[in-house]
Chain A
Amino acid sequence: MSDSLTQLTLAEARDGLARKVFSARELALAHIAAVEAVRPLNAFITETPERALAMAAAADDRLAHGQARPLDGVPIAVKDLFCTKGVLTTAASHILDGFRPPYESTVTEKLWQAGAVMLGKTNLDEFGMGSSNMTSHYGPVENPWRRQPGGRAGDNRPLVPGGSSGGSAAAVAARAALAATGTDTGGSIRQPASFCGIVGLKPSYGRCSRWGVIAYASSLDQPGPMTRTVRDAAILLQSMAGHDPKDSTSAPLPVPNYEAALSGDIRGLRIGLPHEYRAPGMPGEIEAVWQQGAEWLRRAGAEPVEISLPHTRYALPAYYIIAPAEASSNLARYDGVRFGLRVEGDNLDEMYELTRAAGFGAEVRRRVLIGTYVLSAGYYDAYYLKAQRVRALIAQDFAAAFTQVDCLLAPTAPSSAFAIGETGDDPVAMYLNDLFTVPASLAGLPAISVPAGRSGDGLPLGLQIIGRPFDEAGVLRAAGVLEDAAQFRDLPGFVAAGRRIRDRDDSHHLRQAGS
């Protein structure tokens, strides 16, 4: 029973709890065991089993008294970039050693108010800066998927989960959590979702509050759900989204019913295929999955249309100016005075310099230095303002496209998951991972990655639906059709309890009970 509880979707678990097929406590216990079982993946920085059981007990109490909330008893993992009151919050950085926030982020507070149960805090690239989870102070996360023998000859090396929300993606894929929160600045939800074979939604900038989310690049950062199905993403987003007066960039817009948007009806929808996304050197199998996705949507009654986003190739360099510039400003607060690490010095400046030298890892240091440079006197116009002007052109490209089409279909990432060290030490080569995700980030658009196929060596490949500002409902509807057509049901090689699902009949029974 407890193995099969971790195989449920969030929607099935919610419905099973409502029908009292199992209790929130049973569901929590199964997932606490699963979190322990996936320790070899290093997906969690902090496990919170006692808190999970206390929250499950409160949920069981409400369920017993007919006062169920939307997520009552649903065990989830939280990216360790969200401040959680009294619970160690690290941003995977040495510089936040021992930090226990005296407050709760708005998004996690909303999730707990909705009845969700916290399993722990997941690993990530330091401050969200990375596409591999290799920059974490707490060590890399391992992807639960491995290449199949017979692919690249005998290559069974551990693979990265993507990043920066790599721990969240690995935990959800390995069935250690029903869902997780992520944050996406240039692809940090969507790219790891693609690498781990799960669903990841970056909402429109402003849809979910950034209050209490440790800042990387404030004009781009956006929290979102990471789940195993599109329906689960809709359910989790429902409780994460909404206006928050504490975030001045939070959008004062009503939140529609996302689950109700999953009608499956996309007849007449015009789907743009941006031809600039045919990147030179892109593997043929990614092009093939993309074409397959367009065909699935066409068969469902949508109309694929070739469109152009002419400034696409300038998005990456613009992003890697803007994001580090904002980061260099945001990370000025880590000074050894108010929280985290402190290395003593003979004077104040020396204390700052020694603390920051010891506390920041190589990639964070690189981005802070780049950001400082592009903002410094004499270079501000040439780099920072130039990048902001290019950002405007990229946003205009999308606005023009949306006069012709309703949403866009594109690959999520230019490759499947790679092995640690496989891409070399070249930072620019690593930045190319964000090729297809960064443009929508710069334009603030909602975008979802859905597992759509597998590479020649058996790894998941995601497709991305990008929508108009605040049209998460439309993005989810199209993604649901893609998901139905793709029928991606495969489990990774490493799942909680150390084995593949054993008790299919039991799970099937629950699925029927919940439908």
Chain B
Amino acid sequence: MELVAETPYRFRIDRQGDMRVPGIVLASKALLPDASADRSLEQVVNVATLPGIVQASYAMPDMHWGYGFPIGGVAATDVAGGGVVSPGGVGFDISCGVRLLAVDLDRAELPVEQVMNGLDRAIPRGAGHGGVWSLPGRAQLERVLLGGSRYAVEQGHGVPRDLARCEDGGAIDGADPAQVSDRAVDRGLGQVGSLGSGNHFLEVQAVTEVYDEPAAQAFGLRHGQVCVMIHTGSRGLGHQICTDHVRAMDKAMAGYGISVPDRQLACAPVDSPEGRAYLGAMAAAANYARANRQLLGEAASKVFERATGRRTELVYDISHNLAKIETHEIDGQPRELCVHRKGATRALPPGHPELPDDLRAAGQPVLIPGSMGTASYVLAGIRGGGAFFSTCHGAGRVQSRHQAARSINGKELRRQLERQGIAVRGLSARGLAEEAPAAYKDVTAVIEAAVGAGLCRSVARLEPLGVVKG
């Protein structure tokens, strides 16, 4: 496949075959996928064939091989022009995302062992069910699906300020619980307020660099400050919703005259019964994910209050697996688009009307978790930001879980992390090994490329002090 270098951080795949738009890869040359082991460039091409896609099929610097869409893919379709929505363009873990809390504490004051032991007890994680919020049945779960973090705060699990610091004020409008199957509800009922497994984690971190003082101040961050980063999503409920709606669209596509090069790209027009059903269910899952992170944030805050007497404040909560109906200018005209971000983060620029007053001058906070034991970053949106105001979402995998587990033993990895001064509370040695830093790209190189490609700017760097994993 031929990649044309437009700049050091922007590569073009010209239209060919059934592509309706070009592919644009926003990465440095060193971060481009190795075609022998990773077929994500083919997936960029496949996404470019979707009906109604506009501008380009984009890939972020942390792109890697998914199924259907690449992870790190951004694609927007024109709703009025028959544009489609594809559940695979959001991913199974709908509204998987990151929540960052700032603790009113300097790292020198942190009683690490006491806090980590408290978090170890307070944070449900791993496979199966068990969350901090026990819901009695479908009726109350539906209130979570409709209200997200707003409902959690109404029920006493947080403060109103939390909602201003969460995308969409804590809940997406348009959630439709009637489009959520009983199986999805069954899977979701016992998991509100739980991390899950895989690459999800809770980390205690410290701010080690501030690159943009005014923005850091607006976000509530200062050098040396202790923070808590939570990375998780919509658990079994989101996975089941994606499963159900991919299958429904897979069967319905032919009726709309749509064929796709990979069945996991199954899609239907946004303005169709299947498209509306998915978007209603997706919004419900996104609200579940926000409530999930709200409850985990509350549980972590209580641990800090008990151990240190200090309070926490929400910096921001972002999703990196979502489709949103947004208005963008295409060929000089405002158009309603369905913007899919799969492993990509929205990054609204300074001055954007959707931002709360205290963040409007700085732009939207973007939270980028590094791989386990490495730095994480806080970024911000910029004026003229590319790919429909989107940027990367993490370090990006380069090794399969099998390869990672073969390259290092979990116990040895734990010892290495502890030698670096990082306290580890994991459930299984294998789970740790699969998330070894060597399995990921260098997050600092990813951030450099995202900034170089004109997607965002750096605000602060955070380094881990302790990690809690499933």
A-B complex is real: no
